[in-house]
A and B are shown apart, each in its own frame.
Chain A
């Protein structure tokens, strides 16, 4: 009896040690993120003003604001979303719900996974060759959005695929057994329950697209363009590229402006995540099984 109690105790102790170690590891991941954000806020918050958010840059970028870059990035996010969301989600629906499991589909799935590992500069070059030169879109919002969309697709497809696969097979069976067609089943009994997962993956992927420099380098980004775009064939400034430019190409740039630009970009991405969290909470109420 006594020996058994001792054994229990040591097992419990080991469990505690394991929990502490796991907790520390988690902390190790959180600390750098918090530090980075704090550092950016501390160095950049001072430069943020109404003028900074609503005026174009002036005086060799050292004064004025970053308004055109904010607008440019927002346009690019919207453009990316317009192209990548329908394409990504529909491909995932096809792969999970319709495609037969054969060599061809397995090849597609494999390529999708591998595509997410391609460096973003390669997407940039690809976008430049295909959209800017071959399709003659020029350096434009259209070319940039398409390039970013292609870059986002693998993550969106993978996340959507997993979200669809996590919907219990029973839901499809119920629906089909009542005489619903395949599409009705997907539309009413699968997609609604996969939305939280799809949102997570989509926003993750769009956030990354919003912060990328390499894919927009040759396809859309302008060094300095104070006026706002008139059509999707115009160039725009974009926050990540602007940040790169003012940090490396402009001599004697006040550091706080760079940090403030970074802060705005972080805030923008954070805002997107916030929207997705709210939407997700809304849809998760439905997910009760």
Chain B
């Protein structure tokens, strides 16, 4: 079976002013993949993620060459609104808006024109269920989102992203501020979401990559050193630098 390509980059170069973040990246992501991206700080992992939904352009110094193909279409031909609806992102620290749990999730549908109360309520419930948070918060949807725990906030962020019906979910070190139990819950949610979504997980935690992902890429100083089945990458890496990194010799 040939897997369906969802995202493909062609000679992607990213830079901020004079600093190059990504060099000549060619990578392909398939439908229902959970692709892990590991690598030390400043290796271009986050730049890669944020290039996919053009969030990098929020930085006025950012520039980019090469192409990104999303579902067979160059993303240059897709509007910001649609692209970011289709490719959602979860940030490193749980970032919720200082409004209620309900309104955090309802915000996405609202900006896309869905305001009918019954429909919004259904979306909120479904999104929370998919993010494994519904049972914990169903009785207090009016609580300020800032008042729930970090792990719950991060799953709330996942639910908020799901509410706009993306095809792809990007995670930018989603568990870096969470305790092991909260981390496990977020990882459970990701495994469950595999059925319906394509996911890319950037992480500093190689163990997490090993636990969750199926394919894994190793970035170093803006280069994609190698990309393999996760098991192969961790047990039998081709490149010495990968071996050094995953065995903890640097990074």
Contact = CB atoms under 8 A, between A and B. Distances in A.
Interface of A: 100-101, 170-181, 184, 188-189, 193, 286-289
B127 interface: no
Given A174-B91, A286-B99, A288-B144, 11 more contacts: A174-B95, A174-B160, A175-B107, A176-B55, A176-B80, A177-B88, A178-B85, A178-B111, A178-B164, A179-B85, A179-B111
Given A178-B88, A180-B111, A173 B95 contact: yes
Contacts of A173: 55, 58, 91, 95
B112 interface: yes
A179 B112 contact: yes
A280 B78 CA distance: 41
Counting from the closest, the 4 A-B pairs by CB-CB distance are A179-B85, A180-B111, A179-B84, A178-B108
Contact of A188 (B81, B85, B107, B112): B107
Contact of B111 (A170, A181, A286, A287): A181
- Chain B contact residues (Cβ within 8 angstroms of A): what range? 20 to 34
A188 B80 CA distance: 18
B107 A177 contact: no
A100 B112 CA distance: 27
B146 A179 contact: no
A286 B88 contact: no
Nearest to A178: B108
A188 B161 CA distance: 17
Interface in B150-185: 160-161, 164
B53 interface: yes
Given A178-B161, A288-B144, A188 B111 contact: yes
Most buried by B among A175, A176, A193, A288: A176
A176 B55 CA distance: 8
Contacts of B108: 178-180
Nearest to B83: A179
A100 B60 CA distance: 8
A179 B82 contact: yes
16 contacts: A101-B60, A173-B58, A173-B95, A174-B97, A176-B80, A176-B84, A177-B88, A178-B107, A179-B81, A179-B84, A179-B164, A188-B107, A188-B110, A193-B98, A286-B99, A288-B146
Given A184-B111, A288-B146, A176 B58 contact: yes
Interface string B63-99: 0000000000000000011111100110100011111
Contact of B81 (A100, A101, A181, A286): A181
Nearest to B50: A177
Contacts of A172: 58
Contacts of A189: 97, 107
A208 to B, nearest CB: 32
B148 to A, nearest CB: 13
A173 B80 CA distance: 13
A174 B161 CA distance: 10
